[in-house]
Chain A
Amino acid sequence: PGLGVRARSELSLSPQVSAAAGAFPKRVKVVEVGPRDGLQNEKTVVPTPVKISLINMLSETGLQVIEATSFVSPKWVPQMADHTEVMRGINKLPGISYPVLTPNLKGFQAAVAAGAKEVSIFGAASELFTKKNINCSIEESLERFDEVMTAARAASIPVRGYVSCVLGCPYEGKISPAKVAEVSKKMYAMGCYEISLGDTIGVGTPGSMREMLTAVMKEVPVGALAVHCHDTYGQALANILVALQMGVNVVDASVAGLGGCPYAQGASGNVATEDLVYMLNGLGIHTGVDLQKLMDAGTFICNALNRRTNSKVSQANCRL
């Protein structure tokens, strides 16, 4: 599959022609980020047993990848302070990957000690965002990740790379597609098996998504790309649709649309997994995910958080 994917992407049709031909991938891997990206950005902190129950429920839905937690200092992210307990407490079902965030070598080692078999690192396409978020330049952040990459390689642990702010930055505003391509290329060359391109503040539209992907696809094979769209401006599904039309077949989403936007108070953040799966089902694209079980997991966590779901499919819950 690896070589096949690489060859296929090099021969792929231009984006416009693909769109006209209506060529969608036959399968899409949905990466569930609710327990990490979602819960990290919720106002209410959720007790460890509830987190574990959520992840266990998600493990029953057919999802193949569930981002479990983040091995970052609780000083910075108190919502993820119980990372070791969560990692040790969840049922790890065969065939399902439970990646965790590891911002540095220390976090990586703690993650491995707690049983992690896959990790993620977070870069950004914006210098100002990197400075404000982790207090260093993009170049310095990549040097830090290099340590993690070396250790991960030695332990045969796959690493997923995230690039933030790919369609806009809360500080810099516009982000050039060339910059996104440059950072993605570096992370891919460092050894990340997949690059998840994040529209961190949800400002992207199908127009900017297409432009950005066109640039990135010159440097990274489409089979190694994922999109991580935020729905802050309601554009997520339309942006994901364009990515699919261009051959991307890995999409991140968050059950019940958990996780608000830290840059726009009261605004929504992650796209809801239920709404994504509904769209993919309608396109005849295979995900392996049971939508009803997914909605049940969403209902569970929303009750625990005492909040309404952000998923429109869940809200409608109208049987056709």
Chain B
Amino acid sequence: QESKTSGLPEYVKIVEVGPRDGLQNEKVMVPTDIKIELINRLSKTGLPAIEVTSFVSSKWVPQMSDHKEVMRGIERYPGVQYPVLTPNLQGFHSAVAAGATEVSVFGAASESFSKMNINCSIEESIDKFQEVVKAARSMNIPVRGYVSCVLGCPYEGNITPVKVAEVSKRLYSMGCYEISLGDTIGVGTPGSMKRMLEAVMKEIPLNALAVHCHDTYGQALANILTAVQMGVAVVDSSVAGLGGCPYAKGATGNVATEDVIYMLNGLGINTGVNLYAVMEAGNFICTALNRKTNSKVAQASFNIESVN
């Protein structure tokens, strides 16, 4: 499984979160048909997983209020997963009714963040997820678990690796097939990433781990590299780096899928993704959002002929 020369994984699965995490955190709201078009374009790039939408109350997340229409409207390409967020049992049932075949639940490694975000403690949130996971398992629907604030919290500051490991373990043992560790405010560095992963890897097998790095402090690729060097083989990213940081006005959020793929290509790691196709999808959505891309690869490529 490891590359012969370097100890790096031979293949990394990219989980594209632009249509959900990205668009959810953009100022401009995007019409349903544009969302569907974006997802259809992404489906043709070779991406193995595309997070489509969120079955959360439109009161809380108006950008995702068209979740049913989007779920029903997209083309489903064979070999591509289309997970959706389901914060509770009600959302889960709604998602399944709309055709969802994979769901995600969101935990946090910080009590304060949990309280501020979903108005309950970590323990209470886990009880809610347990219901979702139980229902999902009875229907053979895989569940992905997210853990937020793994490298820092906007309210609590430092987060201990042990706490991250503890929450991750709870989600994994209840039945999540994969745990995506999120540096929600992008404050992590290769140092804190390494320490956190070392703690989590004691509790969860490597092949069940993913990293979800935000680029708010420019550290995302360095953090992802660190994770990949430690054997992590699933990386979340967002086309064109869609999605700002709700905790730092004007700051960036998600790492750009294009920039991640560029790096992985350069490392000789296979992703199955066509970089140019992703750039084109990024160009499409940025035009629709009337904004510049956050991807440096896209910025550089649209201005010169590619050198390599």
Contacts and interface: CB of A to CB of B under 8 A. Distances in A.
B300 A267 contact: yes
A316 B245 CA distance: 9
Contacts of B250: 315
A266 to B, nearest CB: 5
Interface stretch (A135-143, A189-197, A233-241): A233-241
Nearest to A19: B229
Given A22-B194, A203-B308, A284-B191, A238 B222 contact: yes
B219 A278 contact: yes
Contact of B300 (A232, A240, A272): A232
Contact of A238 (B251, B252, B263): B263
A298 to B, nearest CB: 13
A168 B308 contact: yes
Contact of A266 (B5, B218, B256, B299): B299
Q: How large is the interface on A (under 10, 10 to 19, 20 to 34, 35 or more residues)?
A: 35 or more
Interface stretch (A87-95, A102-110, A144-152, A204-212): A204-212
A317 B158 CA distance: 17
Contact of B252 (A263, A272, A281, A312): A312
A282 B219 contact: yes
A261 B185 CA distance: 29
Interface in A1-50: 16, 19-20, 22
Given A20-B7, A283-B190, A234 B256 contact: yes
B7 A16 contact: yes
Contact of A282 (B189, B259, B308): B189
A316 B215 CA distance: 10
A142 B186 CA distance: 44
A282 B188 CA distance: 8
A320 interface: yes
B247 interface: yes
A55 interface: no
A157 B9 CA distance: 47
A96 interface: no
B216 interface: yes
Interface in B189-221: 189-192, 194, 215-219, 221
Interface of B: 5-7, 152, 154, 157-158, 185-192, 194, 215-219, 221-222, 224-226, 229, 245, 247-248, 250-252, 256, 259, 262-263, 265-268, 295-297, 299-300, 303-304, 307-308
8 contacts: A170-B304, A205-B263, A206-B225, A207-B268, A234-B259, A238-B263, A241-B226, A261-B300
3 nearest A-B pairs in the assembled complex, by CB-CB distance? A205-B266, A282-B189, A234-B296
Interface of A: 16, 19-20, 22, 168-170, 173-174, 201-208, 210, 231-235, 237-238, 240-242, 261, 263-268, 272, 275, 278-279, 281-284, 311-313, 315-318, 320
